[in-house]
Structure 1
Amino acid sequence: MFICSKLSVVSFSLCYMANNFITRITFFAFVCVQKQHPNNRKEPEKYKSEFFNEYSYFLKEGICQDYEFQEQLSKLLLFETSKTLDGELSSLDEYISRCQISQKKIYYLQAPTRQMALDSPYLEAFEKSGKEVLFVYSAIDDFVFSNLTKYDDRELISAEKGGLDLDKETDEKDEDEKKDDKDAKKDDAVTTGLNQTEIDHFCAWLQSDALGSEKIKSIKSTKRLGASPAIIIDHESAAFRRMMKMVESQGGTSNIPPLPKQAMEVNPEHELIVGLNALRESEPELAKVCAEQIYDNCLVAAGLMEDGGRSMLGRLNDILLCVVKKGNEDGNVNAVVEDIADSEDKKSSDGIAVEESDKDEKKDETKEKKDNK
């Protein structure tokens, strides 16, 4: 008993010393880095490319563990964004300086790579509203934002959060833009979408019959999506879950709980959802298979597919077999192949157009700065 109590005292002392050491290291790092701050030094690019690249992890760890210097350290963080070029870093203050006047929140999106962030369905709403999004690539970034919660009195919000209303944060448009928006909505009403009754019936079928209540806790329609048929929202951090899995595997255990029930949003104007709504009447079994694939696609987009997608390979083969059989029966195989090719070409050209647009904007900014000098 005496030995156990002594061990407890030693353990407590070591933990206290370790925390003290971390605090002193954080303070030392803060003092050193303050001199390297991009707003206070003559070579901001050198800070971004060299110093931050070398010590960013320690700065982020300081934010998560040392609340005394959290606010000061957060000013030194740098991230890529949806409006910067590949590899170009931006501070939170620089992000805010580019925000629309009415925007009172800072949005971020977690993804393994920049390209996956650009391709994410969660980015679609922000592209439509012209809002910039921070891209974060590592698990520690999730901890950073969950610890900060706010920066400069602005909430830090994940782009994967449900119920986002970005229109309220958009600056007032001029009369011509309002007219264009009204005309676009009229055109959309003629050509696309399920009505409210159809949406209600479809969501009820999807939750109860197609996917089941063991997977889904709620389904509703959304206007935030464009090119994607559906997403899951308000889910746990994929990066945090991957880190838990890694830690568990190193310890030789596997106690990670299964995925909880998910909340899902569907795009009632997407042709896949419109077609699936019709298919559930004519081909109910095939419709269920397609619904399961859409759900798994949502998990992949959120980074929550546990086995890397291997479990859905059999279903994908079944869907492809149905497409091939249908094409052979109708003699429309070439038409199906052309539609798929056109879709892929459009994605590729859209990506190139976005990058080129960003480059042109940067050139204009650089030229303007030179003219002002």
Structure 2
Amino acid sequence: MGRKTTHKFKAEISQLLDILVHSLYTNKEIFLRELVSNASDALEKYRFQSSTADNGADDSLPLEIRIETDEEAGTVTVTDTGVGMTREEVMANIGTIAHSGTAQIAKLAQEGKESLDTLIGRFGVGFYSVYMVADEVTVKTRSMQPDSPVIVWTSDGRTDYKLQELDEDLPRGTSITVQLKDDLKGQFTNTAHIKQVLTKHSNFVNFPIMVGDERVNTVPALWREPKFQIKPEQYAEFYKFLTFDSEDPFDTMHISVDAPVQFNALMFIPPKSTDFLTGMNRDNWGLDLYVRRVLIQHQNKDLLPEYLSFVRGVVDTEDLPLNISRETLQDNVLMRKISSTLTKQVLSHLEKMAADNADRYAEFWKEHGSIFKAGYMDFIHKDRYAKLVRFNSSEQEDADGLTSLADYVSRAREGQKEIYYAYGASREALALNPHLEMFRRKGIEVLYLYEPIDEFAMDTIREFEEFKLVAAEHADPAALDAFESKADEPDVPELNEEQSSTLDKLMARIKEVLGDSVSEVKVSARLSDSPVCLSNPDGHVTSSMDKIMRAVSKDTSIPVKVLEINPDHALVRNMIDIYAKNNDDPFVEQAARQLYESALLLEGYLTDPHALVGRIQSLLTQSSGWYVKAED
């Protein structure tokens, strides 16, 4: 038995250990992650040093990590066959602390502002996390250096530690035995729980982790393997392991980056959307972040923007410290570089998919397009975003058809310099939109928007290949009229001078009837099939965007708009004749209110339809009576 000495901890170590021993609110299982990570580092060092120097290393020992529990003794032991430590290395690595600032740890921990595992990561004191669960810790180690003695380090984590040299002939490596606190013995001597913790945090460590005779980390870290060696079924198996999905991934992205920061990533596009940005599932997204195969953060939300949250997978880097707090992650320059590179890689992958196989991209879009459209706020990648968004269009046969802005431009009429769009709840609703009548007549394509977010996307894109994006209701009728009509124009005789004069008086009467409900009543240049429509007096905000803004501000009032009249519609012509014969005819007022409320109904502003329904029934009763008399 060798000499045994006692050494006092430095003041900051004692203060740190006191915090750890009395910690009640932290995630105690991370001590196992830290010990396994240290063991993995020791094995990596051994592998490197044994390959670069002839130092008589024992190659018969398997490079592995073993974890044993003793329920009766209340201990858990982590053993590695790594590089081991000399007496001086033990004192340097365990007896002192690499960074000052323990007083700051104490302050933050006592204030309860951060969890202790976060603080441990920030200050690089991972080994000491063992004192969250330990009454005493024994480290038995032997360096790979020839003739090194066995060193035993023991401490209860209070004021001092003991060092002893043993004459035993033990193999190289390190064994850490944790004497568990009484209330934690059942938890951390339970091998099922130990395996669960290891699978969560250390599943992809590069060396076998054995619990008893069973290897826990059986799934290989595919992202570290050369792409040309991996078969599709291996990717599918890993995706299912990662996501618990029963189906194969829709697509796979395996990338290795050396600059500006070194990392590997294995990412998947799932076959089905789970719409992570809404409802109960809102926070269930993000890539798993690893540092040298050790899980640092599950579902990190800084590696990809939210509009790419449908992407699942892992990112592993050598360049981050193994213990890094979440707060430091968010502020880390390397993280921002990784995020920027990942975002570009995913967008490039989608661009290639769209260019190579439009049908496959359409399949992707129908599953994940609603999430991707939220990327309208990514101003850095605005042009790439504009190329990737898809919409239904008046050119498609049904609501399942998709077109890109580039496709729209390729079909534009000669001389057309605007991309037109309109919002509606469905194709059927848009078919009744009076603002689109002139577009149908002229054969000009209109993009159909079915979700409110689509309009925000259009407002952000604004221009595409020198084409301005313009809401159909804001289109200049004079500019549209310059295009040759593709459909037959209605054969309606022009109003004579007397009819034109009567129309002016009729519109004045309608304005009088409707009062402040409308700002103006005027002749429309855009209508062909409908008798009237409503338009915004300022010409800037679309009706659908106005409704969104009103919903946000909880404004339930009906906006004051311009009522546009189609002088060629049969109903308006009849009203002209009726008004010419009797300007007090009650039908004029009745029809004015009916047309206005019908227009409100189409725009989605009519909240009380009772008057409209009653008026319709009255008109039907009268007209059916006239019809019966005419038949007689």
- What CA deviation, in whole Å up to 9, does each residue of 1:107-154 have, x standing for no partner? 111110112212322221011111111111111112212222222222
Indicate if the aligned counterparts of 2:353 and 2:360 stay in contact, CA closer than 8 A. no
Structure 1 residue runs without a partner (length 5+): 1-5, 7-19, 249-254, 334-373
Flag the 1:244–1:260 CA change in 2: closer, same or farther, 3 A.
closer
CA distance in 1, matches of 2:386, 2:444: 21
For the pair 1:211 / 2:514, whether they are aligned, the reply is yes
Residue of structure 2 equivalent to 1:76:
388
State the 1:259 CA deviation: 1.5
Residue of structure 2 equivalent to 1:271:
570
For the pair 1:46 / 2:345, whether they are aligned, the reply is no
CA distance in 1, matches of 2:564, 2:604: 16
Aligned to 1:232, the other structure's residue is in SS state strand
Indicate if the aligned counterparts of 2:534 and 2:599 stay in contact, CA closer than 8 A. yes
Structure 1 or 2: more helix by fraction: 1
- What CA deviation, in whole Å up to 9, does each residue of 1:308-348 have, x standing for no partner? x34411121221222133334x2438xxxxxxxxxxxxxxx
For the pair 1:148 / 2:461, whether they are aligned, the reply is yes
State the 1:77 CA deviation: 1.0
Residue of structure 1 equivalent to 2:427:
114
Indicate if the aligned counterparts of 1:106 and 1:155 stay in contact, CA closer than 8 A. yes
Residue of structure 1 equivalent to 2:378:
66
Residue of structure 1 equivalent to 2:624:
324
CA distance in 2, matches of 1:301, 1:70: 33
Structure 1 or 2: more strand by fraction: 2
Aligned to 1:165, the other structure's residue is in SS state helix
State the 1:60 CA deviation: 1.9
CA distance in 2, matches of 1:151, 1:129: 22
Select the structure with the greater relative contact order (CA < 8 A; seq sep ≥ 6): 1
- What CA deviation, in whole Å up to 9, does each residue of 1:178-237 have, x standing for no partner? xx99xx79x6336899853233222211112x211x111012112321111111112754
Flag the 1:92–1:224 CA change in 2: closer, same or farther, 3 A.
same
Flag the 1:269–1:246 CA change in 2: closer, same or farther, 3 A.
closer
Aligned length: 294
Indicate if the aligned counterparts of 1:290 and 1:319 stay in contact, CA closer than 8 A. no
- What CA deviation, in whole Å up to 9, does each residue of 1:38-70 have, x standing for no partner? 675422101112x1122222322111x221112
Aligned to 1:189, the other structure's residue is in SS state coil
Give me the TM-score of the superposition, normalised by structure 1: 0.69
Indicate if the aligned counterparts of 1:192 and 1:269 stay in contact, CA closer than 8 A. no
- What CA deviation, in whole Å up to 9, does each residue of 1:61-93 have, x standing for no partner? 111x22111221011111111111211100000
The letter for the 1-side match of 2:590 is: V
Residue of structure 2 equivalent to 1:341:
none
Give me the TM-score of the superposition, normalised by structure 2: 0.42
Residue of structure 2 equivalent to 1:97:
410
Structure 2 residue runs without a partner (length 5+): 1-110, 112-300, 308-339
CA distance in 1, matches of 2:497, 2:425: 33
CA distance in 1, matches of 2:498, 2:453: 41
State the 1:270 CA deviation: 0.7
Radius of gyration: which is bigger? 2
The letter for the 2-side match of 1:132 is: E
> Bigger CA drift: 87-96 or 190-199?
190-199
Indicate if the aligned counterparts of 1:226 and 1:267 stay in contact, CA closer than 8 A. yes
Flag the 1:267–1:231 CA change in 2: closer, same or farther, 3 A.
same
Trace 1:1-373 onto structure 2 (pairs within 5 A).
Answer: 21=302, 24-25=305-306, 28=342, 31-37=345-351, 41-49=355-363, 51-63=364-376, 65-86=377-398, 87-161=400-474, 163-167=476-480, 170=483, 188-189=492-493, 195-208=499-512, 210-212=513-515, 214-234=516-536, 237-240=542-545, 243=548, 255-280=554-579, 281-282=581-582, 284-307=585-608, 309-328=609-628, 330-332=629-631
